[in-house]
Every structure is written in C-alpha cells, then in structure tokens.
Amino acid sequence: MNIVIVESPAKAKTINKYLGSSYEVLASFGHVRDLPAKNGSVDPDANFKMIWEVDPKAAGRLNDIAKSLKNADRLILATDPDREGEAISWHVLEVLKEKRALKDQKIERVVFNAITKQAVTDAMKHPRQIDGALVDAYMARRALDYLVGFTLSPVLWRKLPGARSAGRVQSVALRLVCDRELEIEKFVAREYWSLVATLLTPRGDAFEARLVGADGKKIQRLDIGTGAEAENFKKALEAAAYAVTAVDAKPARRNPQAPFTTSTLQQEASRKYGFAPAHTMRIAQRLYEGIDIGGETTGLITYMRTDGVQIDPSAITQARKVIGEDYGNAYVPEAPRQYQAKAKNAQEAHEAIRPTDMSRRPDSMSRKLDSDQARLYELIWKRTIASQMEAAELERTTVDITAKAGGRTLELRATGQVVKFDGFLALYQEGRDDEEDEDSRRLPAMSAGDGLKRQSLAVTQHFTEPPPRFSEASLVKRMEELGIGRPSTYASILQVLKDRGYVKLEKKRLHGEDKGRVVVAFLESFFSRYVEYDFTANLEEQLDRISNNEISWQQVLKDFWNGFIGAVDEIKDLRVAQVLDVLDDMLGQHIYPPRADGGDIRQCPSCGNGRLNLKAGKFGAFVGCSNYPECRYTRQLAADSEATADRSLGQDPDTGRDVWVKAGRFGPYIQLGEQKDYEEGEKPKRAGIPKGTSPGDVELELALKLLSLPREIGKHPETGQPITAGLGRFGPFVKHEKTYASLEAGDEVFDIGLNRAVTLIAEKVAKGPSRRFGADPGKAIGDHPTLGTVTVKSGRYGAICHRRRRQRDDPGRVRKGHRHAAAGDRTD
C-alpha cells in the first residue's frame, strides 16, 4: 500500500481515483504545525531556534496518517508545488518522525502542476526528496514575520493605544496607499486650456485636429494656462486658412500579452469583473482542484500561485491547434511565442496559469460551472489562447496641418489608428485600469497641400487632477513592480489591511483610513528603514537566495534582527506624549485644514482659547483641545471631519435646546443641547448615527427621530409589558422584557407596528437564545497552577482566556482578534 499526502480532501478524492486501489490518498487540511502565538517561539539568542506546535484540529488527522502507515510500503508527499507546499510536506514528515510512525517505509516527494490523470501519474514516475532549501526559505519568512509581529506590535500597543498590529510586508503595502493619500492632499490643481478644430476635407469629410504649435514653438498640454491666452489663439484660428502640411502613415504591430501569473490574473479579474484578489484566488483554487466532468473530477487550470509566464510545449501545440480550428491559419504565428517575466524578483519555477486542456472551450464549460467560475475560466482560456496568436497589424496615421492668419502660423495635428489585421484582438484585449481607450479613430483620405475648411472650434478649460487612488489591481501591480511580497501573498495582504480597518474599499478604490495613516506615520518616524520599498525588496531577494541554496537562512535573520531590535530599543523609553508630538507634526496637513477666514488652524473652535493637538484614546488617535477637561471638544483625525464637527441642526421644538451633530473620538453622533443646558450630574441625551448614513446628510427631522429612540410601540397582548424599538450595536431591534429581536429587511425602526413587533418577538423566542447572548461553556485548555481550569470562550471581540486575562501590554496574551495580527504577516 502507498500512502499519499495532499492538502485538501477534494484533491485527495480526485487523485485517489487517478491512482487506483493500491494508493490511499489522505488530506492534511493545509498546515499541521505553526509557531505558537506567544513570546519565545523564535529564539534569536539560540540561532533562531523555532518551536513548532501541532494544530489541535490537525492532531486527529495526523494520528490517522500514522495508523495508515503501519501497513504501508511507501509514503508519498504530494502537496502543492511551491515553497508553502514543500513546508507542509516537511511538517507532516517531522511530526510522523516524532510519533515514530515511520519504520522502513520509502519516503518520496512528488509535485504536479495540474490535477489531471496524466499530470499525476507522470509525477509519480519522477519522485524526489524534500527540498531543504525551500524549507529553509519558508522558515526564514515565517521567523521574520513572527519576530516583526511579536516585537513591533507590542510597541504599537504601548505607544499608540488603539493600534492593532504591524506586519513586515503589510506595513509597506499600507505605506503605498497612505503615500498616495498624501500626494492627493498636497496636490494643487493647475488650469489649462485646449483648442480642437473640426475640419472638412475637400470631399467634405470631417475630422478633429488639436493645436500643437504656434509661431515655431511647440504647445504642450499645460502650456495654455489662462482663458486670455486661449482667447487669443481662438481669434487667430477663426481667421486662419488651413492646409495639410504632411500625412504620415506608419504600420505598427501589437503583440499579445503573456499568459497569466498570479498577480496579472488578480489585476485583470479586478479590472474586468470587480473581483477582489482574495475572491479571485478562491475561485482559481476551485478550478485547480477540479470540477465534475462526465462523472470524473478534473482540474481545469494549472497551479494558480506562480510568477512564471512560460507554458509547457505540449500546451502550446494544443493552443495553436485550437487557434487554427477556431480562427484559421492566418491567426497562427509561424513559430510558437516564448515569454519571460518582467517583474522584479520573479521566480519562474512553475508554468503560467493556463487551462489543463485547451480544447475545453468556455462555452462548453459554462454549464458545469457557477457564474464566477465560468467567467474566470473564460478569462484564463482567452488569455492563454491569445498569447499564442498572431500579432495585430495596425496603421497609425498622423496629419500635420498649418493654419495661417495675419502673419501668424499655427500648427495642428490629427491622429488616427486603423486595425488592418486584428490578430489576437479577435479574441482578447486587456482591460485598462484607467478606463481610457487608445485613439482608434480612422482619418479620412488626405494629401499634402490639400486645403481644409473650419467647421467648428472647441475651446475647453481643464484642470489637472491628482493621481488616482490605488485600485486593488493597480496596488498589486505596483507591489509586483517594486518586488514587495510574493504572488501568493498579495490577496492576503489586501484582505488583512481591510480587516484591520487600515484601508477601506470605496468605488473600487483603496482609501487610507485614519488608523492606517497613524500607523504608517509612526513606522516612518521611528522605523523608517523597515518600511522602505527598496529595503523590503532587497530582503525578498535575500529570501529567494535562500531557496536557491545560496545563503544561510540564519545569516539572513541575524543581519535583519541586529538592526531591527536596536531600532525597537531606541523607542522603548519614549513617552506616548513624545510620540504623539512627532505624529502631530508629520500628519499636520491631513489633520488641520486651512480655515476659511485664514485664522489659526489649531485654535479650538469650541472654547477659542485652547489649541488642537493629537491625542490617543482606547480606540485610537483623535484630535482634542489642550484645555481638557474644561473644554471637551474632540473630533476625528481627517481634515474633512472638521466640516461635520459640532454642527447645529436647529432646535428641538419640545425643549428648545439645540440639536447638534458632533464628531467624537468614537465616531459621529447626535446630541441634544450642551452640558451647560443640564443640571449638575445630568448628561446631554445622545444618539448614534445609523451605519451607512453620512453625518453630513443628517438633518433635523432625522436627528429628532434618532433622539426619540428607544420608543415604545405598545403593550404585549399576553404579558402587558411594553415592547420598544431602538438602534443597538448590531442594528435596529425590538425588545420585550429580556428578549431582543433584530428587524428584518423592510422593517423600519421608526414606524414598525405592534403586530409585526409581536411576531418578531415570538419568532425569536421560538428559536431560542442566540450564541451571541447565550452562555458559552467554552473549551478547556488546561489548569492554571492556582486559578483552576482555563477555558477559551467567545467574547465580544473574539475568543478570550476566561480565567486569567493578561495585561494589554503583554505580547503573549491570547485573543483571537490579535493572535494572527501579533504573529505578523502570515504571508507565505
């Protein structure tokens, strides 16, 4: 019997069918060991010795593997063909050795780039041993991410209350987003004008030409900067006689793009379908592991974590055959196309992402796939086939025109492009992140010396625009260009940044959030070297050298650690106030906008005497008055939050008190009156603003409704107790005694009736207590020497240790919300 280990049960089931009854294929369900989320798992003083801990969920599966080995002759490790897959095989083997489950069984490592019968059976004929260099590279990355996370995150917690964590690669990606925000804030729009004439040929055909020169001088895009200059040119063009000076038609060729790598697939799926990188990878994983086709599960694409752009010669032959069948021999180039990766630090260890069988056209596969799977498969198929098609043949025409008026000579230019042979464009054209199309207008026939007539003249004012915020696609592209991270890490990096609230995705663009900008400012101020793009890329090169067996992984860690721990030690003695002063100065342009009256931007708008400065609270940084506690003015960091801070909406008709929208440290809220309007010990009534409602959109009517909550709907017909409606942490609800029921779609908290409320309460009672409010017995994880049993329970912010909570500054505390954050990037 041969025991084969793969990652997933779906993969195991498929491969077992391919190999037959003499093989038993078992799944490890991914990684089986990891570094414990506590201090000491990596020891720099012991040559970076690493302590590995078996995942409790994996323990049973490893026992099953050990039992199966008793009657086996061979152990075949067949995990994914990359560094991470090599590490999983190594971990499984190490655990089996510790269990003494291996006797004299033969141990082999096999890899295949696609889950097809031929690929798997061929791989079984070419076994090898575990690649120690790849395992070393994995350990170096894992140790680096752990050391950065468990060393830097506690510093953040102490010096920046409310900050969550900082990872080695994620922090650099966050810096890219935040640097773009800074560029946008510093941008000053510049006025410019364009003049475009619509001209007629002698045959009466119309076309457009742009002013590009005057009196022997070229006119660039921004050269006409005022309306007065534009008006002068307009008068000259209106009085001018036009003639063709030259017509230049040049042939051009456009070659197809290379087949997909991980990053280019993520970029194109984002541009064309709006898929998040993480979503793209989930779909690609499913296509790779296999779909049921004719009663047999078959992988539809090759391995999807790669930065290689070459494909197997047999696949190229098949692609050329499909091109000839579908488009004709004119679309098949004389020789197969070969590609080389252009990305910095590219490791071309695997094929590009391609269909496993080119003859499976997207139309025939769409019935077997769900919508997103079908679209992604079609994208991969088209890109692969197009990469082997003939180039498109174009003709690009430039027409130079002279306009003479009153001794002045003005120059205009018209450009056009014609597709003479579409080639690969017949099948595929790459999406554009800037949503701009090339000029494909066809110009009418003209010859030098032809006279032209002016039909109309458009004089248009423009303003330069700031650089666009990154989309997920363009951020992935930029990270790849800089050599930051690796293809397999991009999706997880973006997801973590969004999950931590460091960035938000709005209208397909990534916006740097306040908490993210504060973290980046902190790192740039005190750990500048470690968020430099070149430093991170050079470290990636060192890690790649480890995988090539060119350098010791301990030496790379030592070189990094000596400088890094020194930087940490330098900041340990800084007080929080000193850190805030540095950040206050660095983020000043973002935090304090110019005042309309030209006054002091730091003057407190509430008391008029205090100065605004950066402060830190439990939930992060905010702007407050220096006269606290006499003045309690606060607002969020962003400069535009000033516009919604302390805005009066009008008076409450019942009390005569002003109704305010205020921007506090925990977000915007509604307040009735000021503290001075209430007796001592009494606090102003407040109400939260519903999620999804902008503070700037709140008007008096809505504010009064929010302040009226919770409102009594009526008495319960059976108990006679009141039923109330209100807004809570989890949204709108109705309440009867101790029972809370969330409102459903279509229900309105301000006008829900008694009958509907009774129904919701009854349905909730019938369901029983939810996990959120019900008692959680927890999972026992051991006994404390003096406090008794320690259990892990579900808390408001994730899992917590029940018996003993460790202090906030203890980096070893066990909280689900911080476990992976503290452990660093978890990238590879």
β-pairing, 53-54 with 33-34?
Answer: antiparallel
Tokens 């498109």 — which residue? 392
Partners of 211 in the beta sheet? Answer: 412
Strands of 154-240, DSSP E: 191-200, 206-214, 217-218
Taking residue 222's Cβ as centre, other Cβ atoms within 10 Å add up to 12
E strand or H helix at 669:
strand 667-672
Residues 6+ apart with CB under 8 A from 148: 166, 167, 168, 530, 564, 824, 825
Residues 6+ apart with CB under 8 A from 1: 22, 23, 24, 68, 71, 72, 73
Tokens encoding 448: 């030098």
Residue 141: closest CA among 463, 714, 652, 560 = 560
In this structure, are residues 29 and 61 in contact, taking their beta carbons and an 8 Å threshold?
yes
Tokens encoding 792: 């892990």
E strand or H helix at 818:
helix 816-822
Q: What is the DSSP string of 461-523?
A: EEE--PPPPPPHHHHHHHHHHHT-S-GGGHHHHHHHHHHTTSEEEETTEEEE-HHHHHHHHHH
In this structure, are residues 502 and 512 in contact, taking their beta carbons and an 8 Å threshold?
yes
Sign of dihedral through CA atoms 614, 616, 622, 627?
Answer: negative
In this structure, are residues 239 and 491 in contact, taking their beta carbons and an 8 Å threshold?
no
Q: What is the DSSP string of 624-641?
A: EETTTTT---EE-SSGGG
Collapsing DSSP to helix, strand or coil, 411 comes out as strand
Tokens encoding 315: 């696949």
Q: How far is CA 568 from CA 149, 561, 598, in A?
A: 12, 10, 41
> In what order do the strands lie in the sheet containing 711-715?
711-715, 722-728, 731-736, 739-742
How far apart are alpha carbons 612 and 634 in whole angstroms?
A: 9
Taking residue 612's Cβ as centre, other Cβ atoms within 10 Å add up to 23
Partners of 321 in the beta sheet? Answer: none
Sign of dihedral through CA atoms 171, 175, 177, 182?
Answer: positive
Give the catalytic positions in this structure.
303
Taking residue 636's Cβ as centre, other Cβ atoms within 10 Å add up to 23
Residue 322: closest CA among 362, 264, 374 = 362
Phi, psi of 601 (to 5 degrees): -70, -15
| Residue 87 backbone class (left: φ over 0; alpha: ψ -120 to 50; beta: rest) | alpha
In this structure, are residues 100 and 68 in contact, taking their beta carbons and an 8 Å threshold?
no
In this structure, are residues 51 and 36 in contact, taking their beta carbons and an 8 Å threshold?
yes
How far apart are alpha carbons 194 and 463 in whole angstroms?
A: 11
Phi, psi of 776 (to 5 degrees): -110, 110
In this structure, are residues 207 and 199 in contact, taking their beta carbons and an 8 Å threshold?
yes
Tokens 């055959």 — which residue? 321
How far apart are alpha carbons 655 and 632 in whole angstroms?
A: 23
β-pairing, 23-27 with 2-6?
Answer: parallel
Collapsing DSSP to helix, strand or coil, 401 comes out as strand
Tokens 């003045």 — which residue? 631
How far apart are alpha carbons 246 and 249 in whole angstroms?
A: 10
Largest Cα span, the chain? 101
